[in-house]
Structure 1
Amino acid sequence: MKILVELPTWLGDAVMTTPALEHLYTAYPDAKITLVGSFVSTEALKAHPRITRVVVDTTKTKGWRPLNVYRLAKRLGPHDLAIGFRSHVYSRLLLGLTGTKKRFLFDKNRLTVPPSRHAIHQVEKYAAFIDTVTGRRQPPGPLRLDWPKKTFSRPTLGINPGATYGSAKRWYPEKFADVAVALADRYDIVVFGGPGERDIATDIERTIEEKGVENVVNLAGETSIPELCSAIAGLDLFITGDSGPMHIAAAYRIPTVAIFGPTRYQETSQWMNEKSTIVRHDLECAPCMKRTCPLKHHACMKEIAPREVIEAANRLIRNETV
Structure 2
Amino acid sequence: MGPFSNTIAGRICDGDAHGAVISRRGDLKIVLGGLKTAAPCRKLVKILLLQLKRIGDLILTTPAVAALRESFPGAQLTIVVSSECANLLPAVPNVDRTLMARRNPRDLALFFSVAASRFDCCIDFTRNDRSAFLALLSGARERVVSYRVHQQAKMRARAYTDFVPIRMRDVHTIDYNLALLEPLGIQTVASRAPCLHLPQMAHERADALRRDSKITRPYVILHPGSSRREKLWEPERWAEVIDHFGRNNDIDLVLTSGPSPNEQAHIAAIKNKVQQQIVDLSGKTNLLTLAALITQSQLLVTVDSAPMHLAAATRTPQVVLFGPTNPFHWRPRESPALILQGESAAPVTAFVPAQPRFAMSQISTGTVINAMDSLLSHRAAAQSS
Q: TM-score range by the shorter chain?
A: 0.7 to 0.9
Q: CA deviation at 1:44?
A: 2.2
1:276 matched residue in structure 2: 337
Q: Does 1:245 align with 2:304?
A: no
Which residue among 164, 183, 187 is the counterpart of 2:251?
187
State yes or no: 1:23 paired with 2:67. Answer: yes
List aligned pairs for 1:31-180, cutoff 5 A: 31-58=75-102, 60-61=103-104, 65=105, 68=106, 71-76=109-114, 77=116, 78-106=118-146, 110-111=165-166, 120-138=171-189, 140-148=191-199, 149=203, 150-151=206-207, 153-164=216-227, 166-180=228-242
Give, in angstroms, the shift of residue 106 of structure 1. 4.2
Give, in angstroms, the shift of residue 102 of structure 1.
Answer: 2.4
Q: Which has the higher contact order (CA 8 A, sep 6+)?
A: 1
Q: Do the aligned partners of residues 97 and 245 (structure 1) sit closer, same or farther apart at CA in structure 2, a change above 3 Å counting?
A: same
TM-score by length of 2: 0.70
Q: Does 1:13 align with 2:57?
A: yes
Q: Which residue of 2 aligns with 1:291?
A: none
Preserved contact between residue 201 and residue 218 of structure 1 (Cα < 8 Å)? no
Residue 320 of structure 1 and its aligned partner are, at CA, apart by 2.0
- What's 1:317 paired with? 376
CA contact (8 A) 2:51 2:79 kept: yes
Taking the aligned partners of 2:166 and 2:139, their CA distance within structure 1 comes to: 28
In structure 1, give the amino acid aligned to 2:113.
R
Instruction: Report the secondary structure of 1:270's partner residue.
Output: coil
- Match of 2:186, as an amino acid? G
Aligned 8 A contact 1:191 1:205 in 2: no
Runs of 4+ in 1 over 4 A off after TM superposition: 106-109, 148-152
Aligned to 1:296: none
For residues 181-201 of structure 1, the C-alpha deviation after alignment (integer angstroms, 9 at most, x for no partner) is 211223212212111112212
Of residues 230, 239, 242 in structure 1, which corresponds to 2:292?
230
Contact kept in structure 1, 2:93 and 2:196, CA below 8 Å: no
Structure 1 residues 183 and 172 mapped into 2: Cα distance closer, same or farther (>3 Å)? Answer: same
Amino acid at match of 1:14: L
Distance 1:105 1:112 in 2: 11
The residue that corresponds to 1:306 in the other structure is 365
Q: For the structure 1 residues 138 and 282, does the alpha-carbon distance in structure 2 shift closer, same or farther, using more than 3 Å as the test?
A: farther
Once residues 25 and 312 of structure 1 are traced to their aligned partners in structure 2, the CA distance between those partners, rounded to angstroms, is: 37
Percent sequence identity over aligned pairs: 27
> Structure 1 residues 267 and 222, CA, compared in 2 at 3 Å: closer, same or farther?
same
* Unmatched segments (≥5 aa) in structure 1: 289-298
In structure 1, C-alpha distance between the alignment counterparts of 2:356 and 2:312, rounded to whole Å? 22
Q: Give 2:319's match in structure 1, choosing from 257, 263, 277.
A: 257
Q: TM-score, normalised by structure 1?
A: 0.83
Query: Which runs of 5 or more structure 2 residues have no equivalent in the other structure?
Result: 1-44, 150-164, 211-215, 345-353
Taking only aligned residues, the RMSD between alpha carbons, in angstroms, comes to: 2.5
Cα offsets for 1:229-269 (capped at 9, x unmatched): 11222111111111111011111111111011111111111
Q: Which amino acid is 2:166 matched to? A: L
Letter in 2 for 1:201: I
